Structure 1
Amino acid sequence: MNFCKLSLFATAALAPLVAHADPDDDRIVVVASGVAQRADTVGRSITTIDRDEIEQRQTVALSDLLATTPGVTAVRNGGLGTATALSIRGAQSDQTLVLIDGIRVADPSATGGAYNFASLLAGSVERVEVLRGPNSVIWGSQAIGGVVNVTTLQGAQGLHVRGNAEGGSFGTFNGNAAIAGGNDRITAGLTAGYLTTDGISAAANGKEADGYRQVGATGNVEVQLAPGLALDLRGYYADSKVDLDGYAPPTYAFGDTGEYAKTQELYGYAGLKNEAFGGKLHNRLGFTLSDIHRDGYNEDSSIAYRYRGRAERYTYQGDATLAEQLRLVFGAEHEQSRIRYDEGFGSGGRYSVGITSVYGQAIVTPVAPVTLTGGVRHDDHDTFGGHWTWNADLAVRATAGTVLHASFGEGFKAPTLYQLYSAYGDRALRPETTRSYEAGVRQTLAGGKVALGATWFHRDSDNQIDYNFDTSTYYNLNKTRAQGVELEALLQPVQALTVRANVTHVFSENRSADYRGNDLPRRPRDTANVSADYRFPFGLAIGGTVTMVGDSFNDVGNRTPIDGYALAGVRAEMPVTKLLSVYGRVDNIGDVRYQQITGYGTYGRAAFGGVRVRF
């Protein structure tokens, strides 16, 4: 698509003037080392998104906002609620680890154990950290492409309430409410949300809309049991139903059908936090549960398939500050994963597997501007035995406004139970491993009014697992490679105006013998995003976002191209009182026709409006 390519090159040329990098490197991040750490001491690429930005962008599906950050692409099998896959720097979607309030939410019964971002709506989310690149030392298996760390509304002293309700195109209604409060002894946070939409046809050639609805809630409580000792409880629940299209007889061509699917997700955490030796040692002992039920139904409401995935995880983590220059993070974990499934054509079973891990990481500051981090992990898998993983990174504050960063990381991911034992599985599959490098610079200018960033990255993967449509089984690719650059920055010449943009070029290459040199499927080489927001003195806020995605291929043989596209949206919000505001947006204002996956539908122009309350 020539227009899209020209737009990408133009945006790349302007990237030094406007892009998305946080100008405040005093921000605290957790995703790098599993503990709170200043961003300017981290040698890895991390993007943070807070609640203000989520509300400013009027985000409903969190994946839509994540897809406008550097190095991230998302594809969806139709409308809202259909399967949504997130790729970081060209990695497989199941190589992205997702955490919600510290709980791993991967689905053991999914093909690659990937988290389906269709279920993650933004109503409950307070903050997101996106780490690009592997971090298996701290987070273990699956964190070989990147990590998305989501934090929902947390308890706080006092009383805080927010809520919103909106409606619009495709018969959509979305409502959310949240309350947080507490005192010196106990704090708690609770959110609830409901979304329903008539949707669009999942099949691009379909005429029948495929709807979606979700009911969800999150909660957390922290109780101070004694000085330095606290009980920590967290929970997340989502119940959803989505209409689907399929392959109906007699032609078995993809099109309108009456199929639908229901999903129930329950994630929980219970733990104790202890602080000792005057705050020099922090200990955390916890148990997490991930329980997912997925059921598919035929047109006559008979069961088509059932999947049950469950993971129980026992964890200990220590965080010791031995000296001003030395901090140690260490821990041990055991995870037991179970699946039970019936695919409706004689394929079914139940399997389980365990993995026990220990890890340690040192954060060293030999001199004030330099931070060195290095770590090692050992995973002992019931089926595949032991495996060592290493990482190291460096952050140097060269000047007051310049941070140089570099990192090396390894990743390890065993085949999932489904990939091994299902009707499509292969018990001879080998674990995936990766080695990744990156180097870059973050620069702030004009007293923080301009923030720039540039990062080069390279990742080599061995034994990446993919699906072979010719044999209808999973298999190991010999090798894959992804390498590229990210340009990001932020411009805020006055307090009222914020302009963000980013450009990513990544070549995700299949290096196996049969397809060497081919692009991996649905990995566009070029993406770019530009977003601008302005608030008038009388309170009106206006903004817009342009997203550009380059050409890609739908298949491993690169025989089915997917044209690139550019989408634009506008938004506005106006306060009515100190507590109440009204807002609205128009997505895909140009009514562009495009596809992310060959044969699947996408949204045209859509308008929404709502009210928001905060106090």
Structure 2
Amino acid sequence: MRIPCLLAAPAALLALPSAAQDTDADANIIVTAIGAPQDAATTGQAVTVIDRDTIEQRQTVAISDLLATTPGVTVTRNGGLGTVTSLRIRGAEGDQTLVLIDGVRVNDPSAPGGGFDFAHLLASSVERVEVLRGPNSVPWGSQAIGGVVNVMTKAPSAGLQARGNVEYGSMDTLFASGGVSGSSGIVSGALTGGYLRTDGISAFDGGTERDGYRQYGASGRAEVAFTPDLRLDLRGYWADSRTDLDGFPAPAFAFADTNEYSTAQELYGYAGLHGDILDGRWRNTVAFQIADVDRDNYDRDAGAAPLFVSRGRSERYTYKGDVDAMDRVRLVIGAEHEDTRFDDGVQDYSRGTTSFWGEAILTPLDPLTITGAVRRDDDDAFGGRTTFGANAALAVGPGTTLRGSYAEGFKAPTLYQLYAPFYGTTTLEPETAESWDAGVEQRLLGDALVASATLFHRDTTNQIDFDLLTFTYSNIARTRAQGLELGLVARPVDGLTISGSYSLIDTENRSAGFVGNHLARRPRNSGSLSADYRFTFGLSLGSTVQLVGDSFDDAGNTTRLEGYTLVSLRAEMPVADRWSVYGRVENLFDEQYQVVSGYGTIGRAAFGGVRLRFD
């Protein structure tokens, strides 16, 4: 499928900003690039920011649907809401994306590839998302080969703030969420929660029974400022989900409707003590982080006992120092130890990793910022690994910034790949990647027009895959990905916002037997175009067009997935000082398509709701 000229032509001239789309100072601060707050204009890496206003404007329920419209990102889902959802950045594997929620690594230690399932990440608690494209293992460690997705929930506020919404629509879907934040004396806090229930669609594309989904979720944050230079930071995130599934029943063992379902309980926590010394020039954080994921699969026709049990847990102890060492020199240093465990209901496995890392951010001239970084990991399972990275940002004129980066990434073998009975291989080496990118950003008319373009290239070696000759995991795969990311954010008149993106991602499987093939489920072309207009009397109207090109479902490139176009419409209208009603239609033209062969996708669907804001 070809991307229509409507999108490709302007995108060839204008490109998506590599940093925040907002113009206020707070929105232009990012933490994903160096693991500490940094002005987006000073990083040479490609970062896209999605804020709460955009989440509400697009009427987002599943965060993965919004991420699918960002440059360099491909999302696949094995059916309706709640089914396995994978996010790939710049053509990397889904489990090569590192995901953080409020600073906690949430990739599942019990999953075979150690990836994060985006199926259960709903918009209820999400305040902001940063997407860093390209390897970034120095501040974050293993798994950041494709990139990093950093999710932040509602932070405590100085004044009382509250929000809430409830909506109902197609497939008997009910979604409700709300949040409140405020402060009293030295204590401030925020609490959010949400509930989703839907009858869904059949996960099996040829099925007749619906596979539903249900989730309860909540997040909370609290801060205690003992003094201006000493504060305690507590964060927690919880989600309880249940998803109906389809499977491969006997005797045919072909994909079909079944009475299977899965449950997932996710609990993530963070406790940090922040202390500033030397008149605030040395900012210190000592923290403990925990991620606990329990997953079970059941078949109602086979009895009450679970067919599959999985328990994953990680505990991380960290120190981070952020030092203004001297004029024009900033150092960010860190030390951490992580223990991970995996229990399959029969036996448990564990490992430990100790790491040290450091970054130097230099500003030799006002327009130029250079960052150099190094990390050392010592792992119980595979030994030591040293990783390097460097990037630069140069302002060459009014509103023009040049960016470039070189980065290395690695992904440690998972506990399952190392120790799973019959399949594990204890001698596995880490997957490694080397990447570079170069881009330009242009801001015009007082930031009313922001455009950028980024070229990228990544080589991945020692990739771990299942070896069909030995029926074990082995370092047998090599891949390459390269391409171009383009886009635009424009505000030509008051009330109107237009944003567009186009991604060319050329992937190549360079493994024995598959050399020259495209990587599975990586469309070469994809893009989106969104427009929203708010009238002076309050009515907002908007639309998003998402275009995805052809791809293949398998490594052998024998099963083709046809490209598709999705169109959505949305509207919101204030009805009182703090109340508004809203509605949307998704997949307006009822496009029939697949993103995973044999699995269903949602057709035309309509939803309507009520929203409350108080601040």
CA distance in 2 between counterparts of 1:420 and 1:502 reads 40
1:336 alignment partner in structure 2: 339
CA shift in 2, pair 1:478/1:263, >3 Å: closer
Residue number in structure 1 paired with 2:47? 46
Per the TM alignment, residue 194 of structure 1 is displaced from its structure 2 partner at its CA by 0.5
1:15 is aligned to: 11
Secondary structure class of the residue paired with 1:108? coil
1:18–1:478 distance in 2 versus 1, CA, 3 Å: closer
Measured in 2, the distance between the counterparts of 1:407 and 1:156 equals: 35
- Cα distance in 1, alignment partners of residues 575 and 291 from structure 2: 42
Q: Contact conserved, 1:198 with 1:209, CA < 8 A, in 2?
A: yes
SS in 2 for 1:518: coil
Contact 1:404 1:442 in 2 (8 A): yes
Structure 2 residue 126 is the aligned partner of structure 1 residue 129: no
Deviates more, 1:40-49 or 1:176-185: 176-185
**Is 2:325 the counterpart of 1:325?**
no
Residues 444 and 452, structure 1, Cα contact 8 Å, conserved in 2: yes
Would the aligned equivalents of 1:553 and 1:562 in 2 still touch at CA under 8 Å? Answer: yes
Contact 1:478/1:511, CA 8 A, preserved across alignment: yes
Q: How does 1:569-608 map to 2 (within 5 A)?
A: 569-608=568-607
Deviation at 1:444, TM superposition (A): 1.1
| Native 8 Å contact 1:18 1:491 kept in 2 | no
The residue type equivalent to 1:286 in the other structure is A
Q: Structure 2: which amino acid aligns with 1:533?
A: D
Paired residue secondary structure (1:214): strand
Equivalent position amino acid for 1:589 in 2? L
Report the CA distance between 1:10 and its aligned residue: 4.3
Match of 1:137, SS? helix
Give 1:396 deviation, angstroms.
Answer: 0.2
**Alignment partner for residue 315 of structure 2, among 312, 315, 335?**
312
What letter corresponds to residue 157 of structure 1 in structure 2? Answer: A
Q: CA deviation at 1:450?
A: 1.3
- Please give the alpha-carbon distance, in whole angstroms, between the structure 2 residues aligned to 1:499 and 1:433: 38
1:427-466 matches, within 5 Å, as 427-466=426-465
Q: Distance in 2 between matches of 1:104 and 1:209?
A: 33
Instruction: Write out per-residue CA displacement over residues 460-508 of structure 1, whole angstroms, 9 at most, x where no aligned residue.
Output: 1111122356765433234210000000111110121111010000111
Q: Which runs of 5+ in 2 are unaligned?
A: none
Identity of aligned residues (%): 56
Aligned match for 2:366, one of 354, 358, 368: 368
Query: What SS is found at the alignment partner of 1:65?
Result: helix
Superposition deviation, residue 23 in structure 1? 6.5
Correspondence 1:402-481 to 2 at 5 A:
402-423=400-421, 424-468=423-467, 472-481=471-480
* Partner amino acid, structure 2, of 1:539: G
- Partners in 1 of 2:149 and 2:165 — Cα distance? 25
Give the conservation status (yes or no) of the 8 Å contact 1:90–1:523. Answer: yes
Q: Is 1:251 the counterpart of 2:248 in the alignment?
A: no
Q: Which AA in structure 2 matches 1:30?
A: V
The one-letter code sitting in structure 2 at the alignment partner of 1:390 is F
One-letter amino acid matched to 1:42? T
Partner of 1:345 in structure 2? none
AA partner of residue 436 (structure 1): S
Shift of residue 421 of structure 1? Answer: 1.6
| Matched pairs, number | 606
Please show how residues 144-159 of structure 1 align to structure 2 within 5 Å. Answer: 144-159=145-160
- How has the CA–CA distance of structure 1 residues 6 and 374 changed in structure 2, closer, same or farther, with 3 Å as cutoff? closer
Distance apart, 1:439 and its partner CA: 0.3
**Is it true that 1:395 corresponds to 2:396 in the alignment?**
no
Aligned to 1:72: 73
Distance in 2, Cα, partners of 1:598 & 1:326: 52
CA apart distance, 1:607: 0.2
SS at match of 1:339: strand
The answer for unaligned runs of 5 or more in structure 1 is: 343-347
Tell me which residue corresponds to 1:289. 290
Matches within 5 A, 1:343-354: 348-354=346-352
| Structure 1 pair 372–517 and aligned structure 2 pair: CA distance change class (3 A) | same
Instruction: Indicate whether 1:107 and 2:105 are aligned.
Output: no
Q: Within 1, Cα distance between the matches of 2:3 and 2:475?
A: 37
Q: Which amino acid aligns with 2:47?
A: I
> What secondary structure is seen at the aligned counterpart in 1 of 2:65?
helix
Output the TM-score relative to the length of structure 1.
0.97
User: Is the 2:409–2:434 contact (alpha carbons within 8 Å) kept by the matching residues of 1?
Assistant: yes
Distance in 1 separating the partners of 2:505 and 2:203: 28
**Distance (Å, rounded) in 1 between the aligned partners of 2:389 and 2:41:** 18
Change beyond 3 A, Cα 1:222–1:588: same
In structure 2, C-alpha distance between the alignment counterparts of 1:573 and 1:19, rounded to whole Å = 28
Q: Deviations over 1:345-391 (max 9, x none)?
A: xxx42100011000000000001000000010000011111111000
Cα 1:23–1:180, aligned 2, differ >3 Å: closer, same or farther? closer
Asked if structure 2 preserves the Cα contact closer than 8 Å seen for 1:25 and 1:40, the reply is no
Is the contact made by 1:19 and 1:500 (CA closer than 8 Å) also made in structure 2? Answer: no
Give the TM-score normalised by the residue count of structure 2.
0.97
Q: Which runs of 4+ in 1 moved over 3 A?
A: 16-20, 23-26, 467-473
Give the Cα separation in 1 of the matches to 2:275 and 2:11: 45
How does 1:458-537 map onto structure 2 within 5 Å?
Answer: 458-468=457-467, 472-537=471-536
